[in-house]
Structure 1
């Protein structure tokens, strides 16, 4: 089962995803994809870890999520935006290359038999990016979100902490 959860920044996506995972498993997996960009980001990541109790298995993987063996588990993938950023930066901001690599990695990852809850941001619903890189990334994010949502069994949009079922 793939459950895709999207929404704006600070909309409540992660809290909702965590609740859903805990309904499905006594020992879910939290798969974090963020690189540590600076000290503030590092502190934010530490706070997220501290908010999860001992029921959770925490795994950090920036890009190569398909190498993880997660069969028969419930996994929260947090988040596509940060994961996609890693492909974008590593491909020198080439949208086509980043998208192709991310799709290939995602397709390999979802071959496993598991419950997967995916968190992503709807950055295209916000302010229009003022830089070329920002606009390219918003396009990349939108295309990857569509790709994932089409493959998902269930899709939920979170607005102001309220889940809206899309699929």
Structure 2
């Protein structure tokens, strides 16, 4: 089973850059698994900036749902990010079916962790639960789902970090 590292933080907290550096210390040719569905120009630009920051030593894979399909024998892998991956399940299943979405996510994660063959998997996610409870029902439902996913991955992790203002703090 792969070593699991969980990295969380708020938007623009430095978590992705920390994760990329962390992975590059473990491998000179890591794998980057992008989970986002790019739906607008602003997000497309964010993706481009991330891609430009990474060099040609990265193997890039785009997989918005089925991580369990990936075979990454003896590779060091960065999954960026659980938040966008969870978003895909949330909208595919619908906001009133978060229990079903969570079961699908857990199943896909379990398959991925057990059969990917990776040496190390680093998961990046957003910590969106620190800002209080939203008055918007859909945002509350999503925060609930992402909180469950983050807890599930963090409990299985060998190491966990929280990035705050560009400073990674080891929490596990």
Instruction: Tell me the TM-score normalized by structure 1.
Output: 0.96
1:15-164 equivalent positions in 2, closer than 5 A: 15-93=17-95, 94-111=97-114, 112-114=116-118, 115-164=120-169
Shift >4 Å, 4+ stretches: none
Structure 2 stretches lacking a partner, 5+ long: none
* Deviation (angstroms), 1:10: 0.6
RMSD, aligned CA: 1.0
Gaps of 5+ in 1: none
TM-score, structure 2 length as denominator?
0.94
TM-superposed deviation, 1:113: 3.3
Inter-partner Cα distance in structure 2 for 1:18 and 1:27: 11
User: Does the CA contact (< 8 Å) of 2:34 and 2:64 recur in 1?
Assistant: yes
SS in 1 for 2:124: strand
Q: Can you list the C-alpha shifts for 1:49-87, whole angstroms capped at 9, x where unaligned? A: 122111111111100011011120001100000000000
Q: How far off its partner does 1:128 sit?
A: 2.8
Please give the secondary structure, in 1, of the residue aligned with 2:56: coil
Q: Distance in 2 between matches of 1:37 and 1:136?
A: 21
Say whether residues 1:166 and 2:168 are aligned partners: no
Q: Which residue of structure 2 aligns with residue 8 of structure 1? A: 10
**Equivalences, count:** 167
What are the Cα deviations for residues 127-146 of structure 1, in whole angstroms up to 9, with x where unaligned? 43231000000011111100
